[in-house]
Chains A and B, each alone.
Chain A
Amino acid sequence: MTLDKRMTLDDAVAQLSSGMTIGIGGWGSRRKPMALVRALIRSDITDLTVVSYGGPDVGLLCATERVRKVIYGFVSLDSIPLEPHFRRARQTGSVQVEEYDEGMLWLGLEAAARRLPFLPTRAGLGSDVLTYNPHLKTVCSPYEDGEELVAMPALRLDAALIHVHRADQAGNGQILGIDPYFDDLYCRAADRTFMTCERIVPTSALLAEGPIQSLVIQRMMVHGVIETPGGAHFTECLPDYGRDEAFQKAYAKTAKDPASWKAFKSTYLDVDEAAYQAAVEAK
């Protein structure tokens, strides 16, 4: 018997709630589960802690006031180095943050995925990452060297959101791009994972487009799978599509102009995913 974990975006969001810690896969403005982010914004969920190698996912959730705290190593739109909505949130003091070295963020997810309380690292030593994260502690090597190391605590997630290229209905996910980023770690660090994909295909067709090494997400990591063509828009989702640079530029500009933000929000965020995709198509 084949498991069927197909659901809608709203089904997935119905399993999330205010105050949760949510990990978002992808990297910067690349292969972000934007359809899920948009669905979250349509809900009344707020007070989130977001863990992310951040891009417009973080920017949009900040701009729509869904976030209490952002846990990140960076927040960038890649072709636009600084995420303007996140920048605004920081500069107005509207979000709390835990800023880590990028490698520390990995180790925090890795520790959670391995069910460890922490993982030791030299990353962070001597830097103000320790100053501004006063909860961080160091440990001494129990061996002869006695070296002092940062104990990066596990970043446990209530839920993870990821976007992949192909999946089957049971939740096996395939990443056809050249970088899987940290998506599988988010899944294992989380109690629940919701995965969107460009297309759901039969399990027997998964190897038609990519090698076995592209089957990065196993169904035991995934609680819900949602087919959302264009679900990473406007971030990059190669080889299916590149970043929509014109759209991203327009999005970035809205951070400085309340009127254009209002227009952006009513055209692209106050509507369901089908209307969003239609508006993108029509622009």
Chain B
Amino acid sequence: MSRFEACVIACAEAFRGDGEILASPMGPVPAVAAKLARRTFEPGLMLSDGVASLVDDDGAIEGWMPYRRVFDVVWWGRRHVMMGATQIDRFGNQNISCLGDFHRPKVQLLGARGAPGNTVHHVTSYWVPRHSTRVFVPAVDMVSGVGYDKDHGPFHEIRVVVTNLGVFDFDTPDHRMAIRSLHPGVSVDEVVQSTGFELHIPSNLPTTRAATETEQALIHEVLDPHGRAAATVA
């Protein structure tokens, strides 16, 4: 199993159990993963075409979802977003706004976008294609997505952080980030050295599950036939 396949499976597994909700995967690997989940174990998921239509597996339009209605769904809570993170800390605070001092940033990024609202209204996961100490930092420069140590209201859940090295969650007593599984061929040391804070390391460390033959065929023949998503994984 390739590293790309492990990443897709791990991202797809994030949507397991979600049922009929709007899945909003940001980025090529989460997009392949959400489609894979819908075609296999999570058929209820609803997916946007990235503009204003909800589309089924065959590309048929099944609904109208302009931006204003996306916010309606956000606030309603029937959504699971998988966002990127320029920075993320041990409690899952995420930054996509800017690097450096907010008042005069070294690097202006996207802005907070929907991250503050997403994270306090419905399930959020993150996808990080290059796990490094630049991303996994002790403290983020601008809290865009809200972590577990903040005042986050009643509907907050950061389910998983999937990276090119493994899967991480916050299922610890004080919601500090823990390793959930490592992708095949990845060592604990590699993860620890690529993370700028102390991770909880459980005694039993599973390996991210392998893709089935059916899943492999779907990934390579149907969902990413030209390898564009695969090329984004470090």
Does chain A bind chain B? yes
Q: Which residues of A contact B (CB under 8 A)?
A: 27, 72-76, 81-82, 86-87, 90-93, 99-104, 106, 121-129, 131-132, 147-148, 178-182
Contact of A181 among B66, B104, B105, B115 (CB under 8 A): B66
Q: Which residues of A contact B43 (CB under 8 A)?
A: none
The answer to whether A99 touches B112 (Cβ under 8 A) is: yes
Chain B CB within 10 Å — which of A76, A91, A131, A180 has the most?
Answer: A91
* 8 Å CB interface, B107-160 against A: 107-117, 119-121, 142-147, 150-155
Q: Which residues of B contact A127 (CB under 8 A)?
A: 112, 115-116, 119, 143-146, 150
Contact of A125 among B74, B106, B151 (CB under 8 A): B151
Contact of A74 among B52, B74, B110, B147 (CB under 8 A): B110
Contact of B146 among A126, A132, A180 (CB under 8 A): A126
Q: Which residues of B contact A126 (CB under 8 A)?
A: 116, 119-120, 143, 146-147, 150-153
Q: Which residues of A contact B143 (CB under 8 A)?
A: 126-128, 131
Q: Does B103 sit at the interface, judged by CB under 8 A?
A: yes
In angstroms, Cα B103 to Cα A134, docked, is 13
Taking the closest CB of chain A, its distance from the CB of B96, in whole angstroms, is: 9
The answer to whether A132 touches B102 (Cβ under 8 A) is: yes
The answer to whether B74 touches A82 (Cβ under 8 A) is: no
The answer to whether B111 touches A73 (Cβ under 8 A) is: yes
Taking the closest CB of chain B, its distance from the CB of A279, in whole angstroms, is: 30
Taking the closest CB of chain A, its distance from the CB of B124, in whole angstroms, is: 12
In angstroms, Cα B100 to Cα A92, docked, is 13
Q: Does B41 sit at the interface, judged by CB under 8 A?
A: no
Q: Which residues of A contact B104 (CB under 8 A)?
A: 90-93
Residue in chain B with minimal CB distance to A107: B71
In angstroms, Cα B150 to Cα A126, docked, is 5
Q: Which residues of B contact A106 (CB under 8 A)?
A: 68, 71
In angstroms, Cα B106 to Cα A77, docked, is 20
Taking the closest CB of chain A, its distance from the CB of B178, in whole angstroms, is: 21
* 8 Å CB interface, B53-110 against A: 53, 64, 66-68, 71, 74-75, 97-98, 102-110
Q: Does B231 sit at the interface, judged by CB under 8 A?
A: no
Interface of chain B, main secondary structure: loop
Taking the closest CB of chain A, its distance from the CB of B100, in whole angstroms, is: 9
Q: Which residues of B contact A (CB under 8 A)?
A: 51-53, 64, 66-68, 71, 74-75, 97-98, 102-117, 119-121, 142-147, 150-155
Taking the closest CB of chain A, its distance from the CB of B72, in whole angstroms, is: 10
Q: Which residues of A contact B142 (CB under 8 A)?
A: 128, 132
The answer to whether A101 touches B153 (Cβ under 8 A) is: no
Supply 18 A–B pairs (Cβ within 8 Å), ascending by A.
A73-B112, A86-B108, A100-B112, A101-B112, A101-B115, A104-B117, A125-B151, A126-B116, A126-B146, A126-B153, A127-B119, A127-B146, A129-B116, A131-B143, A148-B151, A179-B66, A181-B66, A181-B67
Contact of A178 among B64, B145, B150 (CB under 8 A): B64
Contact of A101 among B105, B106, B109, B117 (CB under 8 A): B117
**Closest A-B pairs by Cβ, 8 of them:** A126-B150, A123-B117, A127-B116, A126-B146, A101-B116, A90-B108, A74-B111, A179-B66
Residue in chain B with minimal CB distance to A128: B143
Taking the closest CB of chain A, its distance from the CB of B117, in whole angstroms, is: 3
Q: Which residues of A contact B121 (CB under 8 A)?
A: 122-123
Q: Which residues of A contact B117 (CB under 8 A)?
A: 101-104, 121-124
In angstroms, Cα B146 to Cα A121, docked, is 15
Taking the closest CB of chain A, its distance from the CB of B57, in whole angstroms, is: 21
Q: Which residues of A contact B146 (CB under 8 A)?
A: 125-127
Residue in chain B with minimal CB distance to A236: B51
In angstroms, Cα B152 to Cα A182, docked, is 27
Question: Beyond the given A128-B142, A129-B116, could you list 13 further A-B residue pairs with CB under 8 A, ordered by the A residue number?
Answer: A74-B110, A74-B111, A91-B106, A100-B112, A102-B112, A103-B75, A121-B117, A125-B120, A125-B150, A128-B143, A132-B142, A147-B154, A178-B66
Q: Which residues of A contact B144 (CB under 8 A)?
A: 127-129
Q: Which residues of A contact B152 (CB under 8 A)?
A: 125-126
Q: Which residues of B contact A103 (CB under 8 A)?
A: 71, 74-75, 114, 117
